[in-house]
Structure 1
C-alpha cells in the first residue's frame, strides 16, 4: 500500500512539473516533501523510509554504472574537459568557501564540503536536456558530459576521504580488475539482447561493483563506476546503458523522494537556496571563460556552460554521506537550480544568437579545436555524417571517381576517418554561423547520413535557405521522418530498412540469374 502511495505522489507531481515545462525531478522532490508533510496521516513511517533509502542507493549505483559505460578516454583526455573541470572545481570552491564560513557560521570542514558540493553540476539534468535537444553528440554536448564525468570522479574521491573509511588490504585487488575485462566482454556478448543483458548489468553494478567494493572497504559508488568503465569500449556498451535506463530512472525517483521525506524545509533552508541560486550566473560565466581559455569558440563555450549552470544531485549524494544536516537546504537549492537551468537551456540557442556579436570578440585568436570550415573547395559531393551509412556512401562514390568531402560533429570520428584517407572536416549542422559563412560553390549533391532526424531536417532547411539548388538525398528509419525531411526541401528520402531489403533481394536475384 505504501509503495502505491509513493508511486502515486511521484507520478502526479512529476507529471505536473512536466506540464509546466520543468524537469520531473522537481516534482519528485515535491512529492517527497508532501510525503513528509502528510506521512503521519497516510501511514508512512521510519521503516518505509529505510526501504526507500535502499531503493535510492540502488538508483545511485546504477547511475554511476551507466556513467562508467560512457567513460571513453578519447572524449575525456582533452584539455578543455580536464582543465575546465579541475579549474572550475578549484576556483568555485575557493570563492564560495569564505562566504559560507563567515555568513553561515559553520566549521571550516563543513564550509569546505558545502563549497565542494555546490561546485558540481547535474549529470542527470544536463544529460536529459542535451538528449531532449538531440545535442549529446554535438561538440558542446560532449564537452559538457566530459566535464560532468570528471566532476563525478571528484565527488567519489571527496566522499571516500570525508567519510573516513579505511580500505582493507584486499582493496589492492582492484588494480587487477582490468584483467577481468576479456571475461566481462565475453559475458556481455553471450548475454543476448533481452533480460539476461539487463541482469548482467544489475549484477555488475549492484553485486560485483557495489557489494564487492564495500567488502574490501571501498566505496560502493566507486565500484559501480569502475565496472561500468571496464565495459565502456565494448561495442554494446550503449545498448547495455539503454537497457538499464528505465530501471535506473525509477530507482532514482526513490532517491529524490528520500530527500524530501528527510524533512520539510524551514525558512533558513529557503533563504539559503535563494542566496545560492543567485550565484548560478557566476558559475555559468566561470565555465564560459574557462572554455574560452582552452581555445573553444564562443558558441561551444556558451552552450556547454549553459548545460552546466545548475547544482548537482551528486552534491546531494555527497551531503547524504558527510553532511546529512545540510541535505534538506541543498535539496531545495538543487531543485531551484533545476528550474532556472531548464528555462535557460530552453532558450540557449536563440539567446546565443542575440549575444553572438558581443561574445565572439572574446574568442582567442588562434586555431580552435571546434573550428568549422568556411569553404568546401572543389568537392562535388558533400556527405554529412560519417557513421556506417556515410562511410559506405563515401567509399562507393570515391571509387567511381567523384570528388568528395564529408562533415561530422564528432572529433574522434573526424580523426579516425582522416586516418583512413577520407576527407572529413568537423562541423555542427545545427550551428547557424556555420551555414552563414559556408562556401560550397562546386557541390552538386548532398547526402544526409547523420543519425539524428532533426539534424537532417535542419540541414535541409539551411541548405535551401542559403540558395543551394542541387540534389539533396537522405535516409530515414521511419516513413513519417522521411516525409518531414522531404517537406524541408530534400529531393529524395530513402527508408533505410526498405532499401536494405531491396538490396538484399537484388543480390538474390543476381545470384539466381548467374546460376541459370
Structure 2
C-alpha cells in the first residue's frame, strides 16, 4: 500500500496532527492541507498546491453578506479599517456529491461514520482555509435578527466523544486497567485517524481544554504549602537542570552526527516536556498527590508548564528568524511578567481571597450553586489573566488553586469542583487520543517503539539522577523519573511551531510526532508496572523499605517546618 500523509490541524490553542496510510482517492480529497506535507518530501500527492486545486477559492463580496447596519458587518469593518480583505479557500464537499451519485445508482455501501456525519444538504457548515493554512469551521451563517443559534456539529461531536469516553472508561475499569487508557483509545477510535466520527477537532479540543484547566485548579487546591517548601528547590532547580541537560545532550549528539545544532537543541527541549494531565490523572486515581514523590513530580510539571512560554520565545532564535539578543529579551520579559504575576497572586491570597470565600459561603447558605459558580469563575479568571500575560492557562489555573488552598474552605471548594473536573478531564484526554493515528503507529511500530523505549530509559535515568542530587532516596528518585518518562501533549504545539519556523526537517518531524503519540499510549501501561518495579527494587536492596521511605518523608517535612518557624 502506498503511504500518504494526511489530515493536519493547526489552530489557536492546540495543534492536532494525525498521519495515516491510505490508498483511496476519496480520502485524499478530504485533505485540508497540513504542516507535514509542507515539509516532508514526496511525489506531490496531497501537497498544499494539490489541495488548492481541489478546493474552490472564493473572495468575500458584498452580495454574500446579509443586510444590516451593525458595526460588525463586512462593509463597515473594512471601511473602518478594523479588518482587511483576504482571499480564502472554501472547501467544497465533493465527497458528498459523489456519494449522492452513488446512492442514485444504488452502488454506495453503508458506512458507519455516516450516522455521525453532519455533512448533508441541510447543514450550514462550511470550511475555510486562509493563506496561512489555518482552518476555520463555520457552523452558522450570520443572521440580521438576534436569534439563538445552535452549533449542531459541536453538539454531535460532544455527544460522540462523551459516549465513547464513557464506554472506554467502563471497559478498562472492568478489566482492572487505568481509565486513562480507555479515554485515549476512545479518542483514537473516533478521531480522524480512526473511524472519522469526528473530523473537525478544533471546536471539540477548545472545549476540552477546560479539562486541563480544572485538573490543575483541583491540583492546586490539594497542594500543600508545607510540602511546596520541601519540593521547591528540586521543582525549580531540578526541573531547569533536567531541561538544560537534555538540550545539551541532544545538541552534542546532533553535532557529532552531522546535524544542525539548533535541531538538536530543539529536540532536547521537546523531549524534556512531560504530560501534566496524564500524570496528574494517574496520581489522583492512586491518591498519591499528597505523597512526597507526587509533590516532587507535580512541582516539576508545573515548572515545565512555566518554561513552555520561554521555549516559544527561543524557537525563532533556533530557526534563525530573530537574533540572539531579541530572544534573550523575550525570555527576560516573560520572567519579569511571571514574577509580577506571582507577586500579585501572593498579595491577593492574604488580603482578598479569604474575605471573598467567606462572603460566598454566607450567600450560599441554602444552595452551593453560587459558591460553585464563583469558584469556577475565579479559576477561569486567573487562567485567562495568565494566558493574556503570555504565560499559560495551566499556570494560571494552578495558581488559583494554590491561592484557595491556603484558606479553610479548600476542601469544600474541591468537592464543588470535582464533578466538573472529572467531566472535562475525560474530554481532554479523549481529545489527546484523537491526535493519535492508529494506522501511522501500526505502519511504523518498529522504529517508533524503539524510539519510545529509548526516550523512557533516558528520561527516567536523567530525572532520577537529578532528583537524587537533591538528597532524595533512590526509591523516590526512580518513582519521579518513571512518572516524567513520557512526552507531554503540549509537545505537539512546540513541534508544529518548530516545523513552521524550519527548525526541524520533515523526517524528524514525523519521527517526533509518532514517538509522542505512542508515548502517550504506552504511558498508562508503564505506570501500571511501577509497583512491580518498586517491589523488585526493595528485594534487591536498591530501594529502601516502605517504612524507611515514610520516615524519611516525615523527617523532611519536620525539617522544613522547623526552618520556617
TM over 0.5: yes
Closer, same or farther: CA 53–330 of 1 in aligned 2, 3 Å: farther
Closer, same or farther: CA 218–136 of 1 in aligned 2, 3 Å: closer
Give matches, 1:290-439, under 5 Å.
290-316=466-492, 318-319=494-495, 329-356=514-541, 358=542, 372=551, 409=554, 411-412=556-557, 416=561
**Contact 2:455–2:485 (Cα < 8 Å) also in 1:** no
Is 1:185 matched up with 2:354? yes
Is 1:201 matched up with 2:375? yes
Whose relative contact order is higher, 1 or 2, with alpha carbons under 8 Å and at least 6 apart? 2
Greater mean alpha carbon deviation, residues 337-346 or residues 91-100: 91-100
Is 1:145 matched up with 2:298? yes
In 2, Cα distance between the equivalents of 1:345 and 1:83?
A: 25
Partner of 2:172: 17
Q: Deviations over 1:97-130 (max 9, x none)?
A: 555799897x765654443232233434444444
In 1, Cα distance between the equivalents of 2:358 and 2:496?
A: 37
Q: Give, in angstroms, the shift of residue 55 of structure 1.
A: 1.1
Q: Give, in angstroms, the shift of residue 186 of structure 1.
A: 1.8
Q: Give, in angstroms, the shift of residue 258 of structure 1.
A: 2.8
**Contact 2:247–2:264 (Cα < 8 Å) also in 1:** no
In 2, Cα distance between the equivalents of 1:321 and 1:68?
A: 29
Partner of 1:61: 213
Q: Give, in angstroms, the shift of residue 22 of structure 1.
A: 3.7
SS in 1 for 2:491: helix
Closer, same or farther: CA 39–142 of 1 in aligned 2, 3 Å: closer
**TM-score normalised per structure 2:** 0.55
Partner of 1:287: 463
Q: Give, in angstroms, the shift of residue 331 of structure 1.
A: 4.6
Closer, same or farther: CA 64–299 of 1 in aligned 2, 3 Å: closer
Partner of 1:92: 246
SS in 1 for 2:540: helix
In 1, Cα distance between the equivalents of 2:398 and 2:379?
A: 8
In 1, Cα distance between the equivalents of 2:375 and 2:493?
A: 22
Partner of 2:311: 158
**Contact 1:61–1:210 (Cα < 8 Å) also in 2:** yes
**Contact 2:158–2:204 (Cα < 8 Å) also in 1:** no
In 2, Cα distance between the equivalents of 1:316 and 1:41?
A: 20
Q: Give, in angstroms, the shift of residue 320 of structure 1.
A: 6.7
Q: Give, in angstroms, the shift of residue 338 of structure 1.
A: 0.9
Q: Give, in angstroms, the shift of residue 350 of structure 1.
A: 1.3
In 2, Cα distance between the equivalents of 1:70 and 1:277?
A: 33
Closer, same or farther: CA 133–11 of 1 in aligned 2, 3 Å: closer
What is the alpha-carbon root mean square deviation over aligned residues? 4.2
Q: Deviations over 1:2-34 (max 9, x none)?
A: 432212221222333334444322322222221
Partner of 2:437: 264
Q: Which has the higher helix share?
A: 1
Partner of 1:51: 203
Q: Give, in angstroms, the shift of residue 203 of structure 1.
A: 1.0
Q: Give, in angstroms, the shift of residue 52 of structure 1.
A: 0.4
Partner of 1:28: 183
Q: Give, in angstroms, the shift of residue 57 of structure 1.
A: 2.0
